[in-house]
Structure formats: C-alpha cells, structure tokens
Structure 1
Amino acid sequence: MLEGTIAAITLAGLYSAALLTTHRAGRRSEIALGPFMTLGTLATLAAHLPAR
C-alpha cells in the first residue's frame, strides 16, 4: 500500500511539473498541485537514497 501511495504522489508530481513547464498551469492548479510536486520530488529522492 505504501508503494502505491508513493507511486501516486510521484505521478502527480510529474504531471504537475509537466503542467508548469508547458505553461498550461494557472494559479489555481499551481496551488492545488504544489504539495504533490513537493511530495513527489521528496519521494523520488528518498527512493534513490542508499539503504542504511
């Protein structure tokens, strides 16, 4: 279940990043998708960190 949640957050982050880079995002979508971008970025970085 955790893997699915992380995957969904990452996909939402990628989608919102695509909206922002193609300039199709308005102020409302930036506000709504901003947390998903942050969580998606953090989840992606955490997935690539070496395990301790």
Structure 2
Amino acid sequence: MQNLNRLIKENKVLVSENNALKTENAKVKERISQLEENAIKRVTIQKDEVIDGLRK
C-alpha cells in the first residue's frame, strides 16, 4: 500500500511537470512562429527593394 501511495504521488508530480512543459512548449512554438513571420517580412522587403532597384 505504501508503494502504491508513493507511485500515486510520483504520478501527480509527473503530471504537473508535464503540464508545465506543455505550457512552455506552446510559448516556444508561438515565439518561433513570430520569428518566422518577421523573417518572411524582412525577406519580402529586401526582395521588393532589389526589384525596385532593378527597375530604376
């Protein structure tokens, strides 16, 4: 019975840690998405500048 209680407590701790990691993972994914969007914007601006330069 003591072993079962220990396993239950350990499981609760692991579930809690897992939830914290899921939250952190979601934040990291959002940050990566923002970085990708910013990179796309920068490349698009650079492309447009090059095209404008070629037209002149």
TM-score, normalised with respect to structure 1 = 0.44
TM-score, normalised with respect to structure 2 = 0.41
| Greater RCO, 1 or 2 (C-alpha within 8 Å, sep 6+) | 1
Larger Rg: 2
